[in-house]
Chains A and B, each alone.
Chain A
Amino acid sequence: MKDWIARTSLALKERLLARSTVLSALTVVSMFAAWEYVTATGLANELFLPAPGAVWDAFVKAVERGYQGNTLQVHVGISLLRILTAFVAAVLVGVPLGIIMGLSKDARALLNPIIEFYRPLPPLGLYTLLVMWLGIGEESKFALLFLAGLPGIIITTTQAIWNIDPIYARASQALGANFWNLIWHVYLPAAGPTILAGMRISLGFIYTVLVAAEIVAATAGIGWMIWDAAKFLLSDVVIMGLIVLGLTGVALDLVMRQIGRWLMPWQSRSKT
Chain B
Amino acid sequence: MNKLLLGLASSLALATATFAQDAPEEITIGYLNLVNAQLVTKNLGLVAKHMPGVEINYIKVGGGGDMLRAIAADQIDFGGLGNPPTAIGVARGLPITGTMVLNMLDFVEAMVVRTDAEIKSFSDLEGKTIAAPFGSTTHYLLLQALADEGMDPAEMKILDLRPNDIAVAWSRGDIDAAWFWEPNLDKTVKDGGNIFMTSGIMEKRGYPTWDVGVVMNEFAETYPDYVEKFIAAECEGIDYWIDNPKETAAIIAEELELSLEDATRMMRGTEMVPCERQLTAQYIGTTEARGGFVDTLIATSDFLTSQDRLPASPSRETFEVFLEPSWLETVVANR
Contacts and interface: CB of A to CB of B under 8 A. Distances in A.
B191 to A, nearest CB: 14
Contact of B169 (A68, A217, A219): A217
A228 B157 CA distance: 16
Nearest to A224: B160
A243 interface: no
Given A231-B135, A233-B72, A136 B92 contact: no
Contacts of B310: 232
A21 to B, nearest CB: 37
A233 B94 contact: yes
Given A131-B165, A217-B131, A233-B94, A136 B159 contact: yes
A217 B92 contact: no
Nearest to B84: A232
A216 interface: yes
B309 interface: yes
DSSP class of A's interface residues: helix, strand, loop or mixed? loop
A216 B134 contact: no
A56 interface: no
A216 B309 CA distance: 19
A81 interface: no
A68 B159 CA distance: 12
A48 interface: yes
Nearest to B173: A135
A206 B20 CA distance: 49
B17 interface: no
Interface in A57-103: 68-69
Interface string A186-228: 0000000000000000000000000000001111000000001
B161 A216 contact: yes
Size class of the A contact interface (CB-based, 8 Å): 10 to 19
Given A47-B92, A136-B165, A216-B161, A231 B69 contact: yes
B69 A232 contact: no
Nearest to A134: B172
A216 B135 CA distance: 15
Given A228-B134, A232-B310, A233-B89, A47 B72 contact: yes
Contacts of A217: 131, 159-161, 165, 169, 174
DSSP class of B's interface residues: helix, strand, loop or mixed? mixed
A233 B72 CA distance: 8
Contacts of B134: 228, 231
Nearest to B92: A233
A219 B135 contact: no
Nearest to A231: B65
A219 B159 contact: yes
Given A216-B161, A216-B165, A217-B165, A232 B94 contact: no
B148 interface: no
A142 to B, nearest CB: 15
Contacts of A233: 68, 72, 88-89, 92, 94
Interface in B165-194: 165, 168-169, 172, 174-175
Nearest to A66: B308
Contact of A219 (B94, B157, B168): B157
B93 interface: yes
A216 B310 CA distance: 23
B93 A47 contact: yes
Given A68-B308, A132-B172, A135-B174, A47 B154 contact: no
A230 interface: yes
A246 interface: no
A125 to B, nearest CB: 14
Contacts of B272: none
A12 to B, nearest CB: 47
Given A136-B169, A228-B160, A233-B89, 16 more contacts: A46-B93, A47-B72, A47-B92, A68-B308, A136-B172, A136-B174, A217-B159, A217-B160, A217-B169, A219-B158, A228-B134, A230-B69, A231-B134, A231-B135, A232-B135, A233-B72
Q: Which 10 A-B pairs have the closest CB atoms?
A: A231-B65, A233-B92, A231-B135, A217-B159, A136-B169, A135-B174, A136-B174, A135-B172, A232-B309, A217-B161
13 contacts: A47-B92, A69-B154, A132-B168, A132-B172, A136-B169, A137-B174, A217-B169, A218-B160, A228-B160, A231-B65, A231-B134, A232-B310, A233-B89
